[in-house]
Structure formats: C-alpha cells, structure tokens
Amino acid sequence: MRAMVLTAQGSPLRLEERPDPQPGGGEIRVAVGACGVCRTDLHVVDGELPDIKCPIVPGHEIVGRVDLIGPNVTTHRIGDRVGIPWLGYTCGICRFCRERMENLCDRPLFTGYTRDGGFASHTIADARYAFPLGDDGDDVSIAPLLCAGLIGWRSLVMAGNAERLGIYGFGAAGHIIAQIAKWQGRSVYAFTRGGDVVAQEFARRLGAVWVGASDDAPDRPLDAAIIYAPAGELVPAALRAVRKGGRVVCAGIHMSDIPSFPYALLWEERQLVSVANLTRQDGLDFLKVAPLAGVKTQTTAFPLDQANEVLSKLRTGQILGAAVLRP
C-alpha cells in the first residue's frame, strides 16, 4: 500500500510504501477511493492537538470499498462501499458511552489522529464505525460528508430551531450546512474572511440572504450562529450578532484563544457552547438527510502524493468548498 505519513509534528508528510495492512477481529480493510482533507488534518500535521503519536497517517473523511474482512465481522461484505469518519472507536463502558454520549468517550480512538487514516491506498477500520453508503453518488463528492458534513450536522442540531442562522467560516462544513439550513426553511447569514469575494459569491449562490465579513454586523439580530473558522476572536463577534437568548456554537476541534470580552455580550441568556466529535447516530441521521436536502458538495480532487500542497492551500484559504485526495 501507499500512504502519506506524518513522521514528526510540523514536518511535511512523506510518501511511503508499506505492506498491506491486515484486519484484526471486528475490523475491515478498505481500499480507499477518496479521502477528504479537513482542517482537523491541519491541526494534526501542525501539532495543534495534544498527544499526537508519530508516525501517523492522517485523513478521516474516507470513502472506499471493503476488500478484506477480519474475524467476527457480520455487518459488511467484500465490495461494500463504506464511509469512515473521525470517530473510530469508543470503549462502550465509560459513563459517557453508557449515557449515549459516545462522542465524549474517555478512551476513544480517532481516525487519522490516534489510528491510521485515509491518506493512503488502504486503511483499517473498526467495522462498527464504518457507515454503509450504498452505490449512489461518486466517492469524491461524498467524502466531505464524513466530517465536514457530520460535524456540521451536529453543530446545526445544537444551534436549535434558529430561523436566522449565522455561519462564520464558509468552507467545507459551512457550504454543506448552508444547504441543509436552507432546505429546512432557515435564513442563512454567511460571514467570510474580509474581502473574500469568491467565498461571498459562493455563499450567495447557495442561497445566503446576507453575506459579509467576519467582523460585520448583520442587518438583523441572529437567532444562532455557528463558528467553523478556528479563530477565537470570532466568539465575541458572534455574541454581538445574536439576539437575547441566542446561541453561539463553536464547531471546531481547535481554536485560537478567545479574547476577553465584556459580560454584557453574554448576558440576557445568550449561550456559548462547543461541539466535540460526533456519535454514530449523528452519522446515520445526517446521511439520511443529506440526499433529501439535495446537498451537493463543492470539491476539488488531487492525487495522493500532492497532500502537502493541498494542506498548504487549505492553510492559506485557497480551497473553495472541500479538497479531496484520490489514491
């Protein structure tokens, strides 16, 4: 197999030839058809997440076909197309797992972070955490749904029944959730990097009723806002933008420090909450909703050996929608 491997934090990924991996009990081997490139991959490569153990193969928006099955697997067959998300394993016995909050498991494994991921021709997955995808749609367009879509969906649910919804950071997750929100009958307010006319026009094409820079005030108070950009300074901006009793959802796994802000921004029962990971039920729910909503992902495909160049483009905001690697 071929894989792009992080051998040390902050260093470029290295293309390696490795022996084909063998699945253990309860595991499947998947021939990767496409793997989305997520901002979380940047946080892994740049060493912004704790306890990164190198070498590791990044990538957690994986679409592929099962080509080998380990012992005790009854849920998948050879040739099945599956999606492998960020959440790769939970213990099933801690308090959070017992209380149906497996996204907060005390002993989880995460694809592309604490177990090898999809920047490769093949990967191993726990069969319980691989979603059946069927044969509709192409691998590249589906790949971003496995994290940008799933985390986006969880953040949208946490935003409640907001009629006027702000989206800060109109990238992979933002452009997917804008489509879901519009389908649900919400009004989308899109906030982009100042002067990013390409992203702003993209948001308008997807039906945003208002588009502006991240520090602009919307024309009406928002009911809720979701922050996808990893910029802590957006938290006070979003709190200013929501109405009394409104909610701000921080949807990233990593964010720069939140600056000090006056209590008045939080007062009047505004809420500030975060999203952590996802549950398998999130995946099942979202993968049913996405085709009903007619979600179409904006993707650009690249060969596997260009992973470093793609990460650089993502880091500097040069990707419209989502980037996807094809082995």
Domain carrying residue 55: 2-135+297-326
Residue 290 located in a structural domain: no
Average pLDDT for 245-254: 96
Q: What is the structure's pLDDT at 196? A: 85
Q: Which of 3, 25, 22 is nearest to 14 (CA)?
A: 3
Q: How many domains does the chain have?
A: 2
Average pLDDT for 15-31: 97
Q: What is the structure's pLDDT at 231? A: 95
Q: What is the structure's pLDDT at 317? A: 87
Shared domain for 268 and 168, answered yes or no, is yes
Is the pLDDT at 237 greater than 90? The verdict is yes
SS3 labels along 168-209: ECCCHHHHHHHHHHHHCCCEEEEEECCCCHHHHHHHHHCCCC
Shared domain for 268 and 302, answered yes or no, is no
Q: What is the structure's pLDDT at 116? A: 98
Integer CA distances (angstroms), 148 to 86, 128, 251, in order: 10, 20, 10
Is the pLDDT at 25 greater than 90? The verdict is yes
The C-alpha atoms of residue 233 and residue 259 are separated, in whole angstroms, by 6
3 state DSSP class of 140: helix
Shared domain for 86 and 156, answered yes or no, is no
SS3 labels along 233-277: CHHHHHHHHEEEEEEEEECCCCCCCCCCCCHHHCCCCCEEEECCC
Is the pLDDT at 194 greater than 90? The verdict is no
Q: What is the CATH number of the domain that holds 216?
A: 3.40.50.720
Q: What is the CATH number of the domain that holds 42?
A: 3.90.180.10
Is the pLDDT at 315 greater than 80? The verdict is yes
Average pLDDT for 52-68: 96
Shared domain for 123 and 154, answered yes or no, is no
Q: What is the structure's pLDDT at 24? A: 97
Q: What is the structure's pLDDT at 195? A: 72
Shared domain for 163 and 99, answered yes or no, is no
Shared domain for 69 and 191, answered yes or no, is no
Shared domain for 46 and 131, answered yes or no, is yes
Q: What is the structure's pLDDT at 10? A: 87
Query: Residue 87: pLDDT band by 50, 70, 90 thresholds?
Result: very high
In sequence order, what E strands does 38-115 have? 61-69, 81-84, 87-89, 109-110
Q: Which residues contact 103 (CB under 8 A, 6 or more apart)?
A: 87, 96, 154, 276, 277, 278, 279, 282
Is the pLDDT at 35 greater than 90? The verdict is yes
Q: What percent of the chain has pLDDT over 90?
A: 95
Q: What is the structure's pLDDT at 238? A: 98
Residue 267 located in a structural domain: yes
pLDDT digits (tens, 9 = 90+) for 275-314: 999 999 999 999 999 999 999 999 999 999 999 999 999 9
Shared domain for 49 and 157, answered yes or no, is no
What are the structure tokens assigned to 216, written together? Answer: 């602009």
Is the pLDDT at 272 greater than 90? The verdict is yes
Mean pLDDT of the chain: 96
Q: Is 2 left (phi over 0), alpha (psi -120 to 50) or beta?
A: beta
Residue 140 located in a structural domain: no
Q: What is the structure's pLDDT at 67? A: 96
pLDDT digits (tens, 9 = 90+) for 88-109: 999 999 999 999 999 999 999 9
Is the pLDDT at 156 greater than 90? The verdict is yes
User: SS3 breakdown of the chain: % helix, strand, coil, rounded to 5?
Assistant: 30, 30, 45
